Amino acid sequence: MKKKFIGIAAVAAALVLAMGVLTGCGSSSSSSAASASASESASSAADSGAVFRTLDEIKDSGKLVIGVFSDKNPFGYVDENGEYAGYDVELANKLGEELGVEVEFVSTEAASRVEFLQTGKVDIILANFTVTPERAEQVDFADPYMNVALGVVSHNDNVITSLDQLGPDDQVIVITGTTAETYLTKNYPDIKLQKYDTYASAKTAFENKNGVAWANDNTEVIAFANQGEGYTVGIEELGDFDTIAPAVSKGNDTLLAWINETMEKLGSEKFFHADYEKTLLDVYGADYEDTLVVEPGQAAAK
């Protein structure tokens, strides 16, 4: 299955060329305070209605407010010390370091990511945000830093290797606001979806066999299956292969330009491979590293 996954990812890499409630890791305020700091000096984008702080306003405040997941290990989660950790969090902290400001984290759910940007609650979203044309109409994406497709995990006593196996009464678990929900709703309208607002609630429902399968980003379902027992990712790729990228409010050109410039610098330093080896290697192993990692500005080297 890994060879197939890697083959698809190679195509994806070529395409890339063509086209708080809790705080931690340097944060000293609650997510509500972080939200306030992001919106007090916010500017409105007249053409989109979005609310945001410019790069200069962020610098002047001394704080960069970033929305991350708090329950999606190993990408964004709160560790045993009550601090944010994970692949996306490492990038968040690095951006704060490069800008010379403190990072404040705001915990977000999948369905809240666009809203948090549009209302000025956060400056940047770094929460496994898959780039899609629909989302690009609502927010501005920076350069990608990871490849992703959809995947489906099921229980070992009933491994789902094709959606054609699903019966009329079978239900597939999805998280509201994810590409999995959008894809299945559009392409498989007859499949019954069991929707949850949070990763944690979807995980619990699946563990309790409230659904025959769970569809989500393949990076997440593979991590889930590898970290537990009794589960198999029977479908490693479903639909198109996409990328994950930072997002900012529509029209926040100064912040977007700075992120892209910084991402290219980090790419030249192989930051994202180092991030993978620090946060994802134990989950995915070395075989997936070049499959998943995108070094901005360095795609040709892959």
What pLDDT is attached to residue 63?
A: 98
pLDDT of residue 23: 37
Encode pLDDT of 226-265 as tens digits.
Answer: 888 999 999 999 988 899 999 999 999 999 999 999 999 9
pLDDT digit string (tens) for 30-72?
A: 344 444 444 444 444 445 567 899 999 999 999 999 999 999 9
pTM as predicted: 0.76
> How far is it, in rounded angstroms, from Cα 131 to Cα 141?
7
Domains of the chain: 51-145+245-301 (3.40.190.10), 149-241 (3.40.190.10)
Q: What is the pLDDT of residue 10?
A: 42
The pLDDT tens digits of the residues spanning 172-207 come to: 999 999 999 999 999 999 999 999 999 999 999 999
Q: Tokens standing for 41?
A: 């000096």
Residues 6+ apart with CB under 8 A from 221: 151, 152, 153, 214, 215, 233
Share of the chain above pLDDT 70, in %: 82
- In this predicted structure, what is the pLDDT of residue 79? 96
At 264-277, the pLDDT tens digits run 999 999 999 999 99
pLDDT of residue 150: 95
Using DSSP bridges, classify how beta strands 231-244 and 146-155 pair: parallel, antiparallel or unpaired. Answer: antiparallel
* Average pLDDT score over residue span 79-84: 96
What span, in angstroms and rounded, lies between the C-alpha atoms of 202 and 199? 5
| Cβ pair 246, 141 in contact under 8 A | yes
Pair 149, 236: CB distance under 8 Å: yes
Residue scoring higher pLDDT (4 or 123): 123
| Total Cβ atoms within 10 A of residue 100 | 9
Q: What is the mean pLDDT of the chain?
A: 86
**Whether 202 contacts 111, CB under 8 Å:** no
